[in-house]
Amino acid sequence: MSAEQNFHQAVKKSLQNTELQTRTAAAAAKHQFAVAEALKQFADLELARNRAKYIKWRVNENLDKYLIDFEANLMRKGGKVIWADTPQTALAEIEQIIKKNQAKHIVKSKSSICNEIGLNEFIKAKGYDLTETDLGDFIVDGFNEKPFHGILPAAHKTKEEINNLLNQKISTSLDIELNEMTKDVRDYMRSKFFKADIGITGANFLIAENGMVCISENEGNVRLASAFAKTHIIIAGIDKILPTLQDVDLFFSLLSSYGNGQRLMAYNSIVGPKNLEEQDGANEFIVILVDNGRSSTLASHDQREALSCIKCGACHFVCPVFTNIGGHSYGSSYTGPIGSITEPLAHGLNEYKHLSNASTNCGKCNDVCPVKIDISNHIIRNRRDNINAGNETTGEKLAWYTWTKAMLSRKNLNRSTSIKNFTFRQLYKTAWGAEKEFPKIEEKSFNQLWREKFGGV
């Protein structure tokens, strides 16, 4: 089955799951309320967003230079950079590091790129002991699912479902309260951190001017993964660059406000290879820079702005499509409005063109994007490219031909409402979908109303 067929099937299933929709709507409402509160910390929010947009624009226009600066500065500090064009290259490199270190225990903390390259499946298939140390990811991993939302991976799960899972995995009590649950999970994770040979984390930002890696989190697990393990592997997309250390101040605040509805997340680390005189920290500090289609997005001059995304997930929870169909329906690594742009750009219209239609173009995503990405227009540009590439189906071509003919004929527009309703229903009902009521055409056309009021032909 093609990605598009899978998508349609998953959407159909999600639309029948009203319980999931209610839960997603509740999570979205809670998130939006918290975001609004956190944003009050900005004296001039528009200025902050414009500055962030400009900084990311500068990065996108000079990415080649900034990446080389980052690599040179990291190497000067004793770190190592590995360039990976594809997920396969990244995974092969990780396996080599595991083998070289004869590592048995690996801890991983939250990272959307690990999901993108299929890290968990790969490492488990090779028989290594891998522990997801972020609570949300630990839960979805336990259910053998993908994250539902980039920032809140287990937002779709009920407390009962989570209790049952934790009871099976780490023997927590079934009627446990949230604070006790997190304590039990923390104790379990601690034991894993103490014996970890390798810690794998993502990165929120990479600083070009000093080769440092910035990670923002709430559970402290990234910090532990980088402190206890002998080898720290950071997997990051090439789009994570920020030019200077000074920029981090703005981006940490925007990320935590829009992403988690917090003024600042609990742990904000700026890490790099340890100095010779330092006792703590990993002996090996390796950054794997993953391309995986990002260069294709960069090559698209009018859409490279999509690389500015800081993965806050704010656009997801305001999107009427995401909140109705949920994160799993997309069937892609990145979901929601931004995923509808980047997946077709990075991996080709052939496979992901349908995602660009998963939008009502209401524009709400543009309003909440901290880096002011013109999301709704990029979605339209994807649709344009899809048509220019000749990917329209015969049905779509016929529908638009008929629509144009009808709209350009006064005689047709003035026909009786029953004929117009019947014709529209025949032509568009399937595309409109069984879940929504088909709109009824007004009794009188605009021309008829005008004539009644002002006369004329």
Question: Which stretches of the chain bind ligand SF4, using CB under 6 A?
Answer: 258, 309-315, 338, 368-371, 373, 375
* Pair of tokens at residue 25: 């709507």
Cα separations in angstroms, 371 against 245, 249, 254, 343, 378: 18, 14, 9, 19, 14
| Shortest Cβ 317–ligand SF4 spacing (Å) | 9
For tokens 């794998």, name the residue.
Answer: 200
| Shortest Cβ 123–ligand SF4 spacing (Å) | 27
Smaller CB separation from ligand SF4, 84 or 307 = 307
| Shortest Cβ 250–ligand SF4 spacing (Å) | 13
Smaller CB separation from ligand SF4, 213 or 375 = 375
Q: Which amino acid is at 94?
A: I
- Kindly give the interhelix angle for 394-407 and 417-432, rounded to the nearest 10 degrees: 150
Whether the Cβ atoms of residue 327 and residue 316 lie closer than 8 Å to each other: yes
Whether the Cβ atoms of residue 404 and residue 396 lie closer than 8 Å to each other: no
| Shortest Cβ 39–ligand SF4 spacing (Å) | 13
Smaller CB separation from ligand SF4, 31 or 420 = 31
Smaller CB separation from ligand SF4, 133 or 359 = 359
Q: Which amino acid is at 216?
A: S
Smaller CB separation from ligand SF4, 228 or 258 = 258
Smaller CB separation from ligand SF4, 15 or 369 = 369
- Cα separation, 114 vs 161, in Å, equals 25
| Shortest Cβ 337–ligand SF4 spacing (Å) | 6
Query: For residue 34, with 0-12 CB atoms within 10 Å meaning exposed, 13-18 middle and 19 or more buried, which class applies?
Result: middle
Gyration radius of the chain over CA positions: 25
Backbone dihedral region of 293: left (phi > 0), alpha (psi from -120 to 50 degrees) or beta? left
| Sheet hosting strand 205-207, strand order edge to edge | 241-242, 205-207, 213-217, 267-271
Smaller CB separation from ligand SF4, 87 or 336 = 336
Smaller CB separation from ligand SF4, 285 or 322 = 322
| Shortest Cβ 318–ligand SF4 spacing (Å) | 9
- Cα separation, 219 vs 363, in Å, equals 33
DSSP H/E element including 323: helix 320-325
* Eight-state DSSP code of residue 438: P
Smaller CB separation from ligand SF4, 331 or 370 = 370
Q: Which amino acid is at 434?
A: A
| Shortest Cβ 322–ligand SF4 spacing (Å) | 10
- Cα separation, 373 vs 356, in Å, equals 16
| Shortest Cβ 374–ligand SF4 spacing (Å) | 10
